């Protein structure tokens, strides 16, 4: 068998993958449950955000106040959105912990080193000031080091994401940026979000980079406009939608939460139907040079309904996976390991493996806009998971059923099926699985999406993998040439 086929790999799925609870909640209700549970858990575990408490049982972090820095980012969004003022008990205690940390001599020493963690020292100092706890001496030190470009963080040879992150911290904190550091707009246009990220082949690290660029560019949804226009904006939104489907199918709660946060940050406020917003169902990504456009988008009401279903499924997936105590399990959390621990060791393990995903889920819920016309506050009828899990046999079963249903399905049903194509093509490409990719491409053809850019790119990859991977089985230069 061809070596490429030997490399087929589907990561094991977590137990919560594909679960949306006993009933399919309205989007607003699912997000509200996630936020309420997450905030309750965070408040109950605030002491674990202190570096000293963390280090009693968990490995020392390179930037010791990292979890506190993330927590203050949430506190700012909660305050800005009117959900929870900075004077409430949770934010007040978080700010107290942060102040205790910056008063430690080690924080000032770390700041003045101007090393790789200088941007995070600056950011923590700025967030404290934004939330009513200014520290003039630390702020002056931050500005002096920034002006001197300590650590060379502003230099053009530094990674674009690092410079964009620093520029966001600088602008948000009201610092004066040094001349070598470009503005947020130019840096965004150099980065992964504006340069046509290949959604079929993005790695996990690249997906995280994409989400962070979008969150910095929109100030976590406060500015609902990207520093680019037209087709570039449409491409970014479609990329987020496809990735949302990929990580929904994988049960990747951490990236699912960050992508829901990006979706909220990119929300234009145009909703149609319960909890739905803009967007075509599936046209691939916008056309690339040398390729014609695929079929047009589904009718607007259908497209908005499909777009709303994806977000609704994402929030239901987070709500279903959320523990009874409110924590949202992170990618390294293993319930069987937790079950073997007790006391502070169990508490430390739970915090270390859940705090980031829980914070990201709370941020996404706090940043989103509720539907203009509130949906039902209780459970609605079960509708089933909107796409198969990231398992080869489940995807092949779906693809064969979709190809058969395409013959008689009404437009709305075809749009729902077509909405799954992008994520499933990406999953098959990333798994390097020619059999699954062949079946999904056949479904794309039957649904009238053979010539969409994503389908064409996936077909070209299948052909490039070699004749033994499946392209030859279908025959012809184009793997979808049989009808």
CB 248 within 8 A of CB 387: yes
| H or E element that contains 134 | none
User: Torsion angle, CA of 447/282/279/165, rounded to 10 degrees?
Assistant: 170
Partners of 380 in the β-ladder: 24
- Predicted local distance difference test score (pLDDT) of residue 269: 59
Residue 267 reports pLDDT greater than 90: no
**Distance (Å, whole) CA 374 – CA 275:** 8
CA distances 196 to 199, 220, 236, 298, Å, are: 9, 21, 8, 23
Tens-digit pLDDT profile for residues 396-426 = 999 999 999 998 989 888 888 999 999 999 9
Residue 287 reports pLDDT greater than 80: no
15 CB neighbour count, 10 Å cutoff: 10
Mean pLDDT, rounded, for 209-230: 91
| H or E element that contains 253 | helix 253-265
CB 326 within 8 A of CB 37: yes
Q: Which of 363-367, 377-381, 423-427 has the lowest mean pLDDT?
A: 377-381
| Phi, psi (rounded to 5 degrees) for 182 | -65, 170
Residue 443 reports pLDDT greater than 60: yes
Cβ-proximal residues to 134 (8 Å cutoff; 6+ apart), any chain: 128
Residue 182 reports pLDDT greater than 60: yes
Mean pLDDT, rounded, for 125-144: 98
Query: Nearest CA to 199 among 399, 454, 464, 392?
Result: 454
Tens-digit pLDDT profile for residues 49-87 = 999 999 999 999 999 999 999 999 999 999 999 999 999
- Predicted local distance difference test score (pLDDT) of residue 294: 33
| H or E element that contains 380 | strand 379-380
| Average pLDDT for the chain | 87
Residue 344 reports pLDDT greater than 60: yes
Output the CA torsion sign for 233, 239, 240, 242: positive
CB 26 within 8 A of CB 275: yes
Mean pLDDT, rounded, for 236-262: 95
DSSP states of 31-61: HHHHHHHHHHHHHHTGGGGSHHHHTTTSPPP
DSSP states of 185-224: HHHHHHSTTTTT--TTT--HHHHHHHHHHHHHHTTTTTS-
**Distance (Å, whole) CA 225 – CA 211:** 15
Rg from Cα positions in the chain: 23
- Would you put residue 15 in left (φ > 0), alpha (ψ -120 to 50) or beta? alpha
Residue 387 reports pLDDT greater than 60: yes
């Amino acid at each position: 068998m061809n070596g490429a086929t030997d490399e087929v790999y589907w990561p094991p799925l977590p137990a919560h993958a594909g679960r949306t609870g006993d009933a399919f909640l309205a989007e607003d209700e699912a997000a509200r449950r996630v936020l309420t549970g997450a905030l309750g858990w965070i408040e109950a575990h605030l002491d674990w955000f202190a570096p000293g408490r963390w280090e009693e049982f968990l490995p020392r972090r390179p930037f010791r106040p990292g979890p506190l820095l993330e927590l203050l980012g949430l506190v700012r969004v909660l305050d800005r959105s009117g959900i929870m003022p900075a004077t409430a008990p949770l934010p007040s205690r978080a700010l107290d912990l942060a102040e205790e940390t910056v008063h430690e001599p080690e924080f000032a020493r770390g700041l003045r080193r101007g090393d790789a963690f200088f941007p995070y020292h600056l950011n923590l100092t700025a967030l404290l000031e934004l939330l009513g706890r200014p520290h003039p001496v630390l702020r002056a030190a931050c500005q002096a080091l920034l002006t001197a470009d300590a650590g060379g963080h502003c230099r053009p040879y530094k990674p674009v994401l690092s410079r964009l992150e620093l520029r966001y911290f600088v602008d948000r904190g009201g610092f004066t940026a040094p001349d070598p550091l470009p503005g947020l707009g130019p840096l965004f246009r150099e980065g992964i979000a504006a340069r046509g990220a290949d959604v079929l082949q993005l790695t996990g690290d690249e997906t995280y980079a994409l989400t962070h660029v979008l969150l910095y560019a929109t100030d976590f949804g406060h500015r609902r406009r990207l520093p680019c226009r037209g087709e570039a904006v449409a491409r970014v939104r479609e990329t987020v939608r496809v990735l949302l489907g990929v990580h929904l199918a994988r049960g990747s709660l951490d990236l699912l939460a960050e992508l829901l946060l990006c979706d909220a940050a990119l929300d234009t406020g145009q909703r149609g139907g319960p909890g739905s917003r803009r967007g075509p169902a599936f046209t691939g990504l916008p056309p690339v040079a040398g390729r014609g456009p695929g079929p047009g988008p589904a009718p607007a009401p259908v497209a908005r309904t499909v777009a709303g279903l994806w977000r609704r499924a994402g929030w239901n997936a987070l709500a279903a996976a959320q523990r009874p105590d409110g924590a949202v399990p992170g990618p390294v959390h293993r319930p069987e390991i937790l079950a073997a621990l007790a006391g502070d060791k169990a508490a430390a393990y739970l915090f270390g493996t859940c705090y980031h995903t829980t914070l990201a889920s709370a941020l996404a819920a706090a940043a989103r806009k509720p539907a203009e016309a509130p949906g039902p506050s209780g459970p609605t009828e079960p509708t089933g998971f909107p796409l198969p899990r990231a398992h080869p046999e489940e995807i092949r079963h779906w693809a064969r059923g979709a190809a058969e249903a395409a013959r008689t399905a009404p437009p709305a049903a075809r749009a729902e099926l077509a909405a799954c194509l992008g994520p499933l093509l990406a999953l098959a490409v990333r798994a390097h699985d020619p059999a699954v990719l062949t079946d999904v491409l056949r479904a794309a053809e039957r649904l009238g999406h053979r010539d969409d850019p994503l389908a064409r790119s996936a077909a070209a990859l299948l052909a490039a993998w070699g004749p033994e991977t499946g392209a030859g089985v279908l025959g012809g230069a184009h793997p979808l040439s049989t009808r």
